[in-house]
Chains A and B, each alone.
Chain A
């Protein structure tokens, strides 16, 4: 069964607008972590933001915020004030179990975002 689901088709976003990328997850663990990564066309995976399952506040990092709805098992990424450089694939990922150095991540299939001027 898929642990991370990202089903949105490719998205076009107007520059300076906000965009929300959907991510739902499936786990029976109480302790887990959710990550968002950005992959531009050059290929490198860039860590954006992290949300722990016990964190009460939604995570924010600059223009990125994570809308964490635990009961719905969703962890949507919100990018505010889109910039042309935000055009990329965005991957949601989950770590199951408590934090440790060995945690494997399960990745979703990704959301393609294209920012248009």
Chain B
């Protein structure tokens, strides 16, 4: 149980284009989803927290117009990197938590999306 999928696993795009990453909880309802960014050999950096049906809460320093987050249902959240630039290249990981999956605050992670912007 508590499986989270992420799509795509890898994406390469040209500078200036937008990229959408999907995060799905497959076998539980995720009341909250989190989006992280991870640089090589570094820890996870929380970008934003999203609750189903409401606006995401962004961490300080994260541009909300750059990283658009939508959490339209209890099983799906999307992150759109708008007008991507090479410095946006990174590993993006989502996580989901829900009352039925190991407790209300256990976050289960997706497999991550490696974004490369040329």
Contacts and interface: CB of A to CB of B under 8 A. Distances in A.
B10 to A, nearest CB: 10
A22 to B, nearest CB: 15
Contact of A43 (B32, B34, B111): B111
A50 to B, nearest CB: 6
A26 B50 CA distance: 26
A37 B102 CA distance: 14
Interface string A15-28: 00000000000000
B46 interface: yes
A101 interface: yes
Contact of A95 (B32, B43, B99, B105): B105
Contacts of A108: 43
Contact of A47 (B32, B93, B99, B102): B102
Task: Name the interface size band of chain B.
Answer: 20 to 34
A91 B44 contact: yes
Given A42-B111, A43-B93, A107 B49 contact: no
A105 to B, nearest CB: 6
Given A101-B31, A101-B99, A45 B109 contact: yes
Interface string A88-109: 0001000100011111110111
Contacts of B102: 47, 50
Contacts of B49: 102, 104
A35 B106 contact: yes
Contacts of B43: 91, 107-110
Contacts of B95: 45
A44 B107 contact: no
Interface in B67-97: 91, 93, 95, 97
7 contacts: A44-B111, A45-B93, A100-B104, A101-B31, A101-B97, A104-B46, A105-B34
